[in-house]
Amino acid sequence: MTIIGFIRHGVTAWNKEGRAQGSTDVPLDEEGIAMAERVAERIAKEQWDVIYTSPLIRAKKTAEIIAAKQPHIQFIADPRLSEIGGGMIEGTTETERVAKWGTNWRELDMGFEKPEAIIARGLSFLDEVQQAFPDKKVLVVSHGGLISRIVHYLFPESDYSHDIGNTALSILELTEHEKQCHLFNCMEHLEVLKN
């Protein structure tokens, strides 16, 4: 049994502006760093064995903040955890996309990463982690698009398909024959920032 704790990166200026980020390397803003610190504090007293991260700076910085509170933890960047490639829409807002390509822009070939490629790399990563870390707890810092697609693929009958919040924690338990989701899209650690 391998426990996977998925965490989405903290917020960026592009998140706030509604810009598609995809594979563009956008850094955390000040609020994003504060969010990463809150999730790091939330899990600091828990025992995790390894942390994997997307190499994109917004995820990597979130993972570094988490790892700083767990100095014993092994730290690995893996490109399979990068956000879904957004093709020509990266850096644009919905308003800009409509102005440039029209209201039916989603029906055009915009160079998006193919769904089967997204799932293939996500499952490849999970299979490798289960082989390398059986009976271990693995943190994975990644991106909302990738996390939501993987979780929805693993649990197709569930309602785990909505957007993942910044620094949301989702915990999966994976065995060779069974999978369970113990927590999905939990952001209770951010309640302190709202007050």
Report the alpha-carbon distance of residue 86 to residue 75 in Å, rounded: 27
For residues 44-61, one letter each, b for 16 or more C-beta atoms within 10 angstroms of the residue's C-beta and e for the rest, the string is eeeebbbbbbbebebbbb
Q: Which residues contact 124 (CB under 8 A, 6 or more apart)?
A: 80
> How many CB atoms are located within 10 Å of the residue 19 CB?
20
37-40: long-range pairs with CB below 8 Å, 24+: 37/65, 38/167, 38/189, 38/190, 38/192, 38/193, 39/7, 39/10, 39/66, 39/167, 39/169, 39/189, 40/65, 40/66, 40/68, 40/69
**Catalytic (active-site) positions:** 9, 83
Report the alpha-carbon distance of residue 175 to residue 89 in Å, rounded: 37
